[in-house]
Copies of this chain bind each other. A is one copy, B any other.
């Protein structure tokens, strides 16, 4: 009939957080304090805290306590051009420029590997499952903190022997190299889905298993409709705002 004990406790704490009585970054009373204050068992206290943690309001650290979470979402305008002509030490793609435009510092770590395409990759690149692809794995950081992983896949025959297949910055830029070979992209087909983090991803991105992740797939196509590159971005959902701007009349419509 009535709400569970832990739900009431959670509601009380939630109210204190949203009203500002507990500031972002601030610390909540310890579990034993909450237990004593409310006259409930520790398990009940933890149920309330974990409910709020799943809602993204608080976060815990073993041996440290429970803290009100601070979120600073990042805006990424995905519909902007991606034909960056120069790549220097600092990342210079559309994403990096969006980050800098918001007064923050983007860095990244790149690994390059040659692998067999799994089904999700192969079907988007119009290849057979198991075909060889070159993947450039990017770990993107903002102000030194991990923010997203972005893997870009290229069919191996296209990029064989080019700087794209090497684990260095690509000069004068990936688009320039691809365009020179007749694979410049002009169109994109994007898919966005949100789902809970697995344990691996949670470790990699610094969140909890089950926290919402945003998954963004971008297939880059030539004017002829040939898929020449596939970018797969995974980021904690509340840390990334994806933006699109467009006109209806240019889409052809019906």
Number of copies: 2
Q: Is the CB of A193 within 8 A of B240?
A: yes
Q: Is the CB of B55 within 8 A of A243?
A: no
* Interface residue count on the A side (C-beta < 8 Å): 51
Closest B-chain residue to A51, C-beta based? B209
A80 contacts across to B, CB distance below 8 A: 251, 253-254
Q: Is the CB of A192 within 8 A of B242?
A: yes
The distance from the CB of A8 to the nearest CB of chain B, in whole angstroms, is 12
The distance from the CB of A102 to the nearest CB of chain B, in whole angstroms, is 14
A54 CB within 8 Å of chain B: yes
Q: Is the CB of B241 within 8 A of A210?
A: no
Q: Is the CB of A54 within 8 A of B187?
A: no
Q: Which of B55, B83, B189, B195 contacts A245 (CB 8 A)?
A: B189
The distance from the CB of A5 to the nearest CB of chain B, in whole angstroms, is 15
Q: Is the CB of A237 within 8 A of B194?
A: yes
State the 10 A-B residue pairs at the shortest beta-carbon distance, nearest first. Answer: A54-B210, A194-B237, A212-B212, A81-B253, A194-B194, A190-B244, A192-B242, A194-B214, A194-B212, A81-B248
Chain A residues within 8 Å of B, Cβ to Cβ = 7, 51, 54-56, 73, 75, 78-83, 185-199, 209-214, 237-238, 240-254
